Amino acid sequence: MRLCICFVLLSIVVCASADNPFRFAWDAAGGAWDMYRAYRDMREANYVGADKYFHARGNYDAARRGPGGAWAAKVISDARENWQSGVSGRGAEDTRADQEANKWGRNGGDPNRYRPAGLPAKY
């Protein structure tokens, strides 16, 4: 719940400073949906070694929407990694690798760089 409130408050502040607040908010909402869809697909695929691909793909799809989508992808990725690093116990190295994939996708890099062999074409 707190994350949702923070997201809404940050959205209001960022939208107020954007050139076209409606477009920014629309892109941010779409970017959040892209991130959710990549997460849902990752859970559905349940494929060992594919998490970096889904990180990159979610950020790539979100950032293609524009500044609002890229902003949403960064906020969601950072929040998830901060939460995950404290809860999952996977360690700093996994968080660093996830953030590298996030940044790669957000900057327009091809997510297939992280695609593991054998991942179904559906994804």
Domains of the chain: 21-114 (1.10.132.110)
Q: How many CB atoms lie within 10 A of CB 84?
A: 14
Q: How far apart are CA 41 and CA 46, in angstroms?
A: 8
Mean pLDDT along residues 101-116:
98
The residue ranking higher by pLDDT, 6 or 65, is: 65
- Whether 40 and 51 have beta carbons less than 8 Å apart is answered as no
Predicted pLDDT at 19: 74
Buried b (16+ CB within 10 A) or exposed e, 27-63: bbebbbbbbeebbebbeebebeebbbbbbbbbbbbbb
Residue partners of 66: CB distance under 8 A and separation at least 6? 23, 24, 27
User: What's the mean per-residue pLDDT of the chain?
Assistant: 89
Predicted pLDDT at 91: 77
Task: Give yes or no for residue 120 having a pLDDT over 60.
Answer: yes
Predicted pLDDT at 33: 98
pTM higher than the cut 0.75? yes
CA distances for 111 relative to 38, 55, 82, 85, 99, angstroms:
11, 8, 22, 23, 13
Tokens of 110: 């091809």
Mean pLDDT along residues 22-33:
96
pLDDT over 90, % of the chain: 69
Predicted pLDDT at 82: 85
Task: Give yes or no for residue 57 having a pLDDT over 90.
Answer: yes
